[in-house]
Amino acid sequence: MVLGCANVANVSATKRIAVIAGDGIGKEVIPQAVKVIAAAGAAVELTSFDWGADRYLSDRVTVPPDGFATLGRDFEAILVGAFGDPRVPSNIHAKEILLGMRSKMDLYANVRPVRLMDASLCPLKGIEPKDIDFVVIRENTEGVYGDVGGVFKQGTPDEVAIQEDVNTRKGVERIIRYAFEYCASNKKLDGSPRRRVLMCDKSNAMTHAGGLWQRVFKEVAAEHPNSEIETQHMYVDALAMQMVRDPREFDVIVTNNMFGDIISDLAAGLQGGLGMAASGNLRPGYVSMFEPVHGSAPPIAGKNIANPFGAILSVAMMLAHLGMAGEAHKIEAAVLEAVRQKKTTADIGGKLGTREAGEWVAQKISGR
């Protein structure tokens, strides 16, 4: 069973993929992911882009003027590493590239599957792989990450900082609709149907935005009266507690940009940490972007110790989305085997370096 997305593109021709490794460990894990694409024999044509801190520091360009238009016009998917570099304290390049891709290209659905490959990776007692198989669907273009707001009287004792939480009916409705479609069209890893969409908010305290999410959730749910899909609501604080107490009860979770960011990292902790988590940034019918959930991890960058599996599993997700389910299966099966045999980096208990773990998976796939 592949880590799915709600829509699958047509299968025919060679797919064109833009590759942006970015900064820090992105530059180490993406070459491993690319190696695995080749080993799986996927019919793709890769084009690398040098966007990131090095480029910004050399010519002050974050995204070239036609950058997003080129990605949208010439590619079926984008594979991204991570952005963030201590030499750019403002993180301006990361904001313009990553948040730019998500919002200017309107990749509104951030899909983060949460799957436990081996019981040893989960910090919770008595949890088996079959117990953790859910997905967080995060609104990716609005909320408090839209950079709306300002600072007043900066540097004085009266300083005021305002960060607005932007929620549009269009934005809320399409992500909730996406979650219902995802639930209806994706199965669990054991082959059973997905059954429940849970909307998570903080509508008891943030009544204006929460009210909109509540109303739209009920409206969209009412469009599925005869389906098998159950609906549920939880406040985000209660959900965080419950995710640690008993993650078995989750299936499809839909939420806003900030809550999705936080709970998907919490969820990554249940599956072995940030090094194991994959994601897709999707807009049905348009180019989509796939990336590991982790950041550029500057303290471990350049040491050949970063776990490449989040990036490799993001590739599996990308290929499945592009209609290459067979190749995606091969990659996931090889990663699963690596985890079982502890052919992994140290963060999940192995002794291999980034390159060696990537190589092991590539060799497993190609049967060498």
- Our finding on whether 362 is near ligand NAD (CB under 6 A) is no
Q: Is-catalytic flag, 59?
A: no
The token pair at 134 is 């859910």
- Our finding on whether 338 is near ligand NAD (CB under 6 A) is no
Cα-based distances in Å from 22 to 29, 195, 196, 245, 318:
10, 37, 36, 36, 18
Q: Kindly name the residue from 35, 202, 330, 343 that is annotated as catalytic.
A: 202
User: Scanning the structure block, which residue is given the tokens 């520091």?
Assistant: 57
* 216, 270, 306, 339: residue in contact with ligand NAD (rule CB under 6 A): 306
On whether the CB atoms of residues 318 and 105 are closer than 8 A, the answer is: no
Of the chain, the end-to-end C-alpha distance in Å amounts to 24
Q: Which is nearer to ligand NAD, 203 or 307 (CB)?
A: 307
* 39, 297, 328, 335: residue in contact with ligand NAD (rule CB under 6 A): 297
Contact positions with ligand NAD (CB under 6 A) in 263-292 = 274-275, 291
Q: Which is nearer to ligand NAD, 247 or 273 (CB)?
A: 273
Contact positions with ligand NAD (CB under 6 A) in 309-328 = 310
Contact positions with ligand NAD (CB under 6 A) in 224-253 = none
Q: Is-catalytic flag, 265?
A: yes
Q: At how many degrees (to 10) do helices 354-366 and 325-340 cross?
A: 120
The token pair at 53 is 């801190």
CB of 306 to ligand NAD, least distance (A): 4
Handedness of CA 79, 82, 88, 93 (dihedral sign): positive
Q: Kindly name the residue from 145, 201, 330, 343 that is annotated as catalytic.
A: 145
Stretch that binds ligand NAD, among 9-17, 39-47, 118-126, 304-312 (CB under 6 A): 304-312
For 333-338, the CB contacts below 8 A with 24+ separation are 334/36, 334/361, 334/362, 334/364, 334/365, 335/117, 335/309, 335/361, 336/117, 337/364, 338/309, 338/364
Q: Is-catalytic flag, 27?
A: no
Q: Kindly name the residue from 106, 118, 131, 265 that is annotated as catalytic.
A: 265
Q: Which is nearer to ligand NAD, 210 or 292 (CB)?
A: 292
Provide the pairing of β-strand 44-48 with 15-22: parallel
For residues 112 and 208, what is the distance between their CA atoms, to the nearest angstrom?
Answer: 27
Contact positions with ligand NAD (CB under 6 A) in 23-42 = 25
Q: Is-catalytic flag, 190?
A: no
Q: Which is nearer to ligand NAD, 98 or 114 (CB)?
A: 98
CB of 298 to ligand NAD, least distance (A): 6
Q: Kindly name the residue from 237, 286, 303, 351 that is annotated as catalytic.
A: 237
Site size toward ligand NAD, by CB under 6 A? 21
177 CB contacts (<8 Å, ≥6 apart)? 220
Q: Is-catalytic flag, 347?
A: no
- Angle CA(77)–CA(343)–CA(111) in degrees, nearest 5? 30
- Our finding on whether 301 is near ligand NAD (CB under 6 A) is no
Active-site annotation, residues: 145, 202, 237, 261, 265
Which residues contribute to the site for ligand NAD (CB under 6 A)? 25, 82-84, 91, 94, 98, 274-275, 291, 294-300, 306-307, 310, 347
